[in-house]
Amino acid sequence: MKQIKQKVVVFTGAGISAESGIRTFRDSDGLWEEYNIRDVATPEAWAKNRELVLEFYNKRRKQSLEAKPNPAHKALKDLEKKYDVIIITQNIDDLHERAGSKKVLHLHGEINKCRSTVDETLIYPMKKEGIKLGDKCERGSQLRPHIVWFGEMVPMMDLAYEVASTADIFIVVGTSLVVYPAAGIINYVSANIPKYLIDPNEINVSGIKNLTIIKEKAGIGLPKLVENLLK
Ligand code: APR
């Protein structure tokens, strides 16, 4: 008889891609030190200066194309040998997919896709050169990055809560846990299951039961944790 695999839900943030060379947002060299969120990552920014917004995301896309999955992404792929692994990521890069992970839910969108500004269900693969002003969807509206901006709804949130609530093991990697609603996901996880948090810096988590904090970089801490879980 086939044994049902335990479900491991992994919630990832920018820190898991840091060792691949993709900048995080809130570390000292983070993107939000160089840019103002309001100028590049909000509907207001899009209304005010589309060129600047497109330039920002075209840069992000170039950076993510140049990056390669690191040992942390690869460890999560290895975890599939024994577990049903579902990754809920805040990241817009595709490094989890490129490492081979099968189930990845992108809460904040995907940098390799663009979409219509009049119909959010019209989603397209991004062209090699990124989006330019004047690039249009089939209904004639300007294309925008397939990104959830600050102030916009997170369409996958309910699904993510549901997935988190059915986890047998929950792992958090490389997120400052300050951006809501995504950060609230940890509150949907059952109190009784084992939880792990991997981050080299201090993260503000209190009142979470059965939580083991691993104060290491993802590329070191995650492969070690996965090795233990595979034993
Ligand atoms: N390994 C693991 N964690 C790391 C590493 C590393 N090598 N380097 C940095 N970190 C940690 C930092 O300590 C921090 O806790 O990664 C976290 C990055 O936090 P943020 O920059 O705030 O990124 P994230 O939590 O993913 O941001 C959430 O905010 O700007 C928005 O939409 C954007 O999805 C993003 C959301």
Q: Are residues 133 and 229 in the same domain?
A: no
Q: Are residues 8 and 83 in the same domain?
A: yes
Q: Are residues 3 and 43 in the same domain?
A: no
Using DSSP, state whether 107 is helix, strand or coil.
coil
Q: Are residues 80 and 188 in the same domain?
A: yes
To the nearest 10°, the Cα dihedral for 167, 90, 92, 219? -80
Q: Are residues 197 and 160 in the same domain?
A: yes
Q: Find the catalytic residue in 73, 96, 106, 108.
A: 108
Q: Is residue 117 within 8 Å of 142, Cβ to Cβ? A: yes
pLDDT tens track for 80-119: 999 999 999 999 999 999 999 999 999 999 999 999 999 9
Q: Are residues 202 and 178 in the same domain?
A: yes
Could you tell me the two tokens for 98? 């490129």
Confidence bin at 40 (pLDDT 50/70/90): very high
Task: Please identify, among 90, 122, 147, the residue that sits at the C-terminal boundary of a domain.
Answer: 147
Q: Are residues 9 and 122 in the same domain?
A: no
Q: Are residues 180 and 212 in the same domain?
A: yes
What mean pLDDT comes out for the span 40-62?
A: 96
Q: Does residue 141 surpass a pLDDT of 90?
A: yes
pLDDT value of position 3: 77
Question: Catalytic: 108?
Answer: yes
Q: Write out residues with Cβ below 6 Å of ligand 1.
A: 13-15, 18-19, 24-27, 30, 90, 108, 174-176, 178-179, 199-201, 203, 217-218
Confidence bin at 128 (pLDDT 50/70/90): confident
Q: Are residues 161 and 223 in the same domain?
A: yes
Q: What is the CATH number of the domain that holds 160?
A: 3.40.50.1220
Supply the range of the domain harboring residue 160.
1-22+70-108+154-231
Confidence bin at 193 (pLDDT 50/70/90): very high
Q: How far apart are CA 169 and CA 212, in angstroms?
A: 12
Task: Please identify, among 127, 147, 167, the residue that sits at the C-terminal boundary of a domain.
Answer: 147
Quote the ligand 1 centre to 194 CA distance (angstroms): 22
Q: Are residues 118 and 227 in the same domain?
A: no
The number of the ligand 1 atom at minimal distance from the alpha carbon of 150 is: 32
Q: Are residues 127 and 201 in the same domain?
A: no
The number of the ligand 1 atom at minimal distance from the alpha carbon of 217 is: 1
Helices 218-230/71-78 angle, 10° precision: 20
Sign for the pseudo-dihedral over CA of 3, 106, 21, 178: negative
Count of structural domains, the chain? 2
Buried b (16+ CB within 10 A) or exposed e, 122-140: eeeebeeebbeeebebeee
Q: Are residues 18 and 35 in the same domain?
A: no
The pTM (predicted TM-score) of the whole model is: 0.97
